[in-house]
Structure formats: structure tokens, C-alpha cells
Amino acid sequence: MKAISDILPSISYGGDYNPEQWGEKVWYEDATLMRKAGVNLVSVGIFSWAVLEREEDRFDFTWLDKVMDILHEHGVGVCLATATASPPAWLSRKYPETLAVDDKGGPYSFGSRQHYSPNSPVYRRAVKKLVTKLAERYKDHPALKMWHINNEYGCHVSECYSSNSLEAFRTWLRRRYQTIDTLNEKWGTNFWSQRYNYFNDITFLNNTPTFPNPGQHLDYKRFMNDSLFELYMVEKKILRDITPDVPVFTNFMLEFKPLNYFSWAPELDVVTWDTYPDPREGTPEAHAMQHDLMRSLKHGQPFFVMEQVTSHVNWRDINVPKKPGEMRLWSYSAIARGSDGIMFFQWRQSRAGAEKFHGAMVPHSNDEQSRTYREVQQLGQELKQLDSLTGAVVPARAAIIFDWENWWAVEMEGKPHNKLSYLEQVKAYYHTFYKRNIAVDFVQPGGDLSSYDLVVAPMLYMVKDGEEKNLEQYVESGGTLLVSFFSGIADENDRIHLGHYPEPLRHILGMHVEEFVPMADGERNQLSAESKRYHCSTWSDVIHLDTAKAAATFDGDWYEGRPAVTMNHYGKGKAVYVGTAPEQTYIDELLAELIKERYLSAPALAPSHVEIVERTSEKGKHLVMVNHNQEIARVDLDPYASYIDLFTGSEVQQETVVGGMDIVILRETEQK
């Protein structure tokens, strides 16, 4: 298959298009408005099953034929959805077993969306039929650019407790453990009299009187991830068979815990995701982090923003619109961090239904002079100038270890501290890189670390077989590794690595932890480092040094004077351990020192808060600069390079100026 940037050589621009809500006359109006707005790609049919297959085996593609044709005539490509995201009423009524079952044992109701059980054989059979029909019908349509499989898998229903799911769980366990004795050993069922004699003894944990078996609980999360992934693969296989040259994907979500996107990404031709920052939060740093994560899922390959909103959503309690200019600014933040597509939900705001107050590219007023449409049009026209960016990567020499299975495990019940947030710890370290414009990738603990100078592993509670070796080799061969508290505790079945914590990392870190001292909400301790004092909270480790040296010590409580942060030389590298949650200032200073030691730097220098990211391909090296301030910002460039400003076409050297809430994109033309 060709690279996505060959199939879609410009920045893709458009949105979800649900024409079945409107009559044919509106379709022509839509296509004309799309062209005016610079739209070149729309996602069609995401919720169209009920109007494509009106009763079992009664298909009706005539309306979609027409829509595809109109779009193609107007130069708009189609990312065609497989329409399986919400099965129709007749399926639920005829086959109630297709309904997912909630943790109280009741089936979900028809009447919103995503009510299907991923493990229903009948649902899977119906999916296969529909996808096959669609692929056969449109395989040669010239508008077809990509396949949009299902939609936001697991968004509302990521757990199912149906009897079909139970059968599938037992099968999944048999495949994973082979024998029931192995399962018993891995789950530690000898505690609390939980031993199983047969795989068929195993039931769901949805209504246990108290804390369930952690091994089983963790495996249920794995199983549900795999169930939804299998469902994706059912569709992918059909599409690949019938249209081998058309890229396929599904769309991911923000900070979505139930699905291990690292395990999905190899089977997506392009990673896409839906970004909905709450404007009340100001600059969406969490979304910037997610852009970096999404880019990392396929090792740097550009991703797509498959959904965002022009103005406001309607599913929060209080849905504030983006202020003038914010939609544009945040779109470029995505592009800076590796996005080759800027898509919206949805094209035209609904008249009825659950999302009628969700913003769209064309508002209820249908007014071309509306702020919304004018902003859409401006951005669409600008993006046409950025073809050279597509396919370009973001070079990074730092990485943060991220692992969904660790996320599941560390936030399960029965821990020393049961309000720990894995993401909060990750974000604390990400923040330093983000603020300093140091490009950072995300990588799994067993992933390839060889290209990084600095790797941070926040709260890596679970260390699985082989990951210990991977981290060891990284440090041994010269890498700098920072590990934070409550790391190296459990194996892949959430069983303790017996010995002194963190047993598998102890030799790399040169220290061990005797006791954990969780802190209550609002409780604080202090640490001293080089005669400076900092707050810390959440957690303290009672640390013993082996070969490491203390870099900071605790100032209070009964473990006063003991090490809080340690540094150890191991092989050619260096391993730092942070045995608490220090205030952000300390993290910034500690990481800044490591960044400096490893000669990492921003692509250009600017006052805060200007995002500057480098994107590079054979088409050139670009600097994307997004000024989140109200005031203009002066940026110092590489003095040995010359650039061209992609918007103005003018040549730039030494420095440039980015207007308040504005964007500059430079392509390097020469390096002296």
C-alpha cells in the first residue's frame, strides 16, 4: 500500500458528514459550501446502518451512491465508514443477544448508540455481511480514499457481562494459560479459597462482595481490549481482501484507559483520534500530550485528527465555546505535533437527536457569515499551503515510558494508595518537555529505546518479563533513565516481585525501598536538594541506598533525613529514582538538568508560551510555531539556516515574529 501522504498529499480537511439527516437538496448545498471552505475529505456513513440495511438483508445503497457521486463531482474525497458503530433497531429486537450486558446483569437499551456486545456471534455475522456489501459496492468508486472502521470503539460500552462474553472469556483464558493449574498459579487463587478446577468454573467479577482477585480483574481488562480489537480485525480483514489498496483505521480517543492503543496501532494504516479539549481549561496541554502519544503509536508516522469541534460540544455539564481564534490555534498545535489531517464532528449541525447542540462546520443558522463558518473557511484556505508538511516526522531524543497494562494495574483496588493517578504522574514529567519545546515520544517499557538520550518512566508499577532487561541495556549502554515512585513492584499478573522493592530495577537504580508512606489528600512533606527546599505530596518511599547517592532528602516525618531522590551510575549510563511526588518546580529543575547533561534542546527559542515543533521529511525541515499568548512573540532561529515562511512566502533568517494567537510555519531552505 502507498503511504498515506501519497494517497492524500495535502493536509486533509473536512469532517463527519451525515447526509441521511437531510434531503437531497441540502446535499448539493453542502457540497458547494464544502468546496468554498476548502474541504477535501469527509467521513460518510458512520451511523447509517439503519438506512443502509433497512431490515435484515434488505439493503438500500441508492442514497449513498448519490452522496458519493455529488461529493466526487465537487472534489471532495470520502473516508467511508463501515456503519457498524450503532446497529439498527431491527437487529436488537430480532436478536436480543446482540445487546451488551452491564455490570448489574441487565442488557443495554436500544435508543442511543453502541449498544452491541463485542462478543455476540450474531452481531459479528451481521457486521461481516454489511461490511462486505459496502466494500463490494464502493471498491471502485473514485471518491473512496479511506475506510473508517466502526467509531470510537468502547467509548460508552467497554465492558460486557453477557453470556456470550463469558464464553469468550473462558476461551481467551484457555488460550492464554493452557491449563487451569497455570491460571491458578498466575492469579494466586490459593488466597481466599479461590482455586478453580475447570475453566468453566470461572465467572465474572461484576458483583463480588469485596475486592476481587486482582489477576482475574486485570485479565478481564485485557480480554475486553482484545474483544474489541478482534471486532476491528473482523472488519479489517474483509476490507483488505476486497480493497487491498485502501487504507483502514478506526478513531481513537483522549486518555482512553480501556483500550491498549499500542496493541491496536500495528493494524491501523494510520492512527487517527478525536480531540475535544474543554476551552475552560485554557491551552490544552493534555491534548498536546495526546498528539505526541498518537504520533508515537506508529513510531512517528503522522496521525490524523479525525474529530474536533469548531466551537462547543454538548456532552459536558457546561459546554463553553472556543473563543475566536482558538480552534485555528489548536488545529496547528496538532499539525505541529504530527497531524496530517484536521477533521471535525460534524459538517452540518443536527436539527434533532442527541447531538443537536454539538457544534458543527455549518451552524443551525446556515449562515456563511457566522463566526463558525468564517473560521472554518479561513483554516481550510490556509491548509492548502502546507502540502510540504504531509508525511513529515517529529524528531525526538527523549521519551516517556507509557504502558496501558500498567495503567490498568496500578489503578486497581487494594493498593497502598488508592487514589493514585497514573496519568497525573506521567503529565507531571511531560509538562517539563512541553514547556521547553523538547520533543518527546512515548514508548512501551519493552520498546526500542536505542534512539533516546533520556527516558522517563513515571510510576512503572508493572514490570513484565523482559522489560527489566530492556531498561537495563538502555542504561548500561549509556542512556539516562528516570524512574518514579511505586515502580517495579508487580509482574504481568499483578503478583509482587518478591524481595526488596523495586526488585527488578534495584540493581539499575542502586537502592531499595523498605516501606511506602502514602500521604492523605492535602498532606505534604518537604524535600531538600542542594540547600533548596520543595514540597512533596501523595507518597514517600523509605529508601535504603545500595550503590546510589542521595540527590534529595526528606525534611519531615519519621523518615526525615532519608533519601527522597537518588542517582546511580550503571554501566555507561545513569539512573535516577524519585521516591515521592515532588512539586512541579522540582521536577522541572531535575529534568532540566538531565536535559542539559544530554544536550537536548528546543528547535528554536521563544518566550513562553510559544509552541515550537520541528517536522521533517525529504520535502524539508519545518518549524511550526504556535503562539498561545495574546502578545506577539519574537523567536530566535538557528543563525546558520535560512527559511521560507509558508504563509507569506517571504524569506526568513535569524529571527521571526509570531503574532498574538497566531501561527508561523517555516521551511528551512538552506543550512550554512
Active site residues: 152, 307
108: contact with its own copies by CB under 8 A? yes
Chosen residue from 2, 125, 384, 419 binding its own copies by CB under 8 A: 419
190: contact with its own copies by CB under 8 A? yes
- Per CB under 8 A, which of residues 582..601 are in contact with its own copies? none
425: contact with its own copies by CB under 8 A? no
For the chain, the first-to-last Cα distance in angstroms comes to 38
- The response to whether 147 counts as a known ligand-binding position is no
- The response to whether 406 counts as a known ligand-binding position is no
Least distance to its own copies, CB of residue 278, Å = 10
473: contact with its own copies by CB under 8 A? no
Q: What is the DSSP letter of 359?
A: -
Which of 349, 484 has the CB closer to its own copies? 349
Residue 256: CB partners within 8 Å, gap ≥ 6? Answer: 154, 155
Taking alpha carbons only, the member of 284, 335, 285, 275 closest to residue 310 is: 275
Least distance to its own copies, CB of residue 206, Å = 6
Options 82-90, 264-272, 628-636, 642-650: segment touching its own copies (CB under 8 A): 82-90
- Residue corresponding to grid cell 473516508: 79
384: contact with its own copies by CB under 8 A? no
- Per CB under 8 A, which of residues 121..160 are in contact with its own copies? 155-157
With contact defined as beta carbons under 8 Å apart, do 320 and 265 qualify? no
Cis peptide upstream of residue 502 (ω within 30 degrees of 0): yes
Taking alpha carbons only, the member of 253, 289, 77, 212 closest to residue 494 is: 212
Angle 303-307-309 (CA atoms, 0-180°, nearest 5)? 135
Which of 269, 274 has the CB closer to its own copies? 274
Which of 279, 302 has the CB closer to its own copies? 279
Which of 203, 617 has the CB closer to its own copies? 203
With contact defined as beta carbons under 8 Å apart, do 517 and 537 qualify? no
- Per CB under 8 A, which of residues 306..335 are in contact with its own copies? 311-312, 314-321, 323-324
With contact defined as beta carbons under 8 Å apart, do 616 and 395 qualify? yes
207: contact with its own copies by CB under 8 A? yes
CA distances from 478 to 371, 444, 455, 457, 503 (A): 54, 19, 11, 16, 22
572: contact with its own copies by CB under 8 A? no
357: contact with its own copies by CB under 8 A? yes
Chosen residue from 418, 421, 451, 547 binding its own copies by CB under 8 A: 418
- The response to whether 93 counts as a known ligand-binding position is no
215: contact with its own copies by CB under 8 A? yes
Angle 243-119-199 (CA atoms, 0-180°, nearest 5)? 130
- The response to whether 113 counts as a known ligand-binding position is yes
Which of 1, 89 has the CB closer to its own copies? 89
Whole-number Å distance between alpha carbons of 92 and 252:
26
Whole-number Å distance between alpha carbons of 174 and 666:
56
Which amino acid makes up residue 119? N
Which of 2, 93 has the CB closer to its own copies? 93
Number of residues counted as binding its own copies (CB under 8 A): 118
Q: What is the DSSP letter of 115?
A: -
Cell numbers representing residue 423 in the block: 496519568
Least distance to its own copies, CB of residue 117, Å = 11
Which residues line the annotated binding site for Zn(2+)? 160
Which residues line the annotated binding site? 113, 151, 160, 315
